[in-house]
Chains A and B, each alone.
Chain A
Amino acid sequence: DTEVTQTPKHLVMGMTNKKSLKCEQHMGHRAMYWYKQKAKKPPELMFVYSYEKLSINESVPSRFSPECPNSSLLNLHLHALQPEDSALYLCASSQDRMRGGITEAFFGQGTRLTVV
């Protein structure tokens, strides 16, 4: 099983709303990623969690707040977003180990977010 599940698949939110995106994997992977992808562009790295600790934060605005409550779950909390934040938000996971052993990453199908 190489499945990464993202919910919801689609989300429309107003600029004053608070919402959360969820990502779940049961492959025992200890690295989890959030990417943002605009149309016809490659995925842009937002956050990386390694062993449930935030390892990389690509200077993402504070209106995006990641959370990794356990090794299987990754959330992205959204608050006061702007229309330009509309994009496909992708979650990925991999079995990377701290001491060597980098492996391939698997992606979910994404959440298509529209901010109105």
Chain B
Amino acid sequence: EAQVTQNPRYLITVTGKKLTVTCSQNMNHEYMSWYRQDPGLGLRQIYYSMNVEVTDKGDVPEGYKVSRKEKRNFPLILESPSPNQTSLYFCASSSGPNTEAFFGQGTRLTVV
């Protein structure tokens, strides 16, 4: 089954404790992205990647890092999480720049 898998689905952490949210896709897609969803703001793009070792900033990259060492994986790293990063995070992948994106189930992160 074609899918985008995120882990964990739920995470509660404390301010400053580094964390990683994993994302993996099995569709051999070149494009992968991370979004955060906040009420009234829709989804905002954090980072995206066009291929292995190629990443770029989206609209809200501050406080986040990504890496793309393998085509299927695109982890999101928060080196020093802060409460304003409490949000619902989605990973997505697509086969090309203007094709539909397939989304993971989301990761609800709470930073206290």
A and B interact: no
Interface, chain B (partner A; CB < 8 A): none
Interface, chain A (partner B; CB < 8 A): none
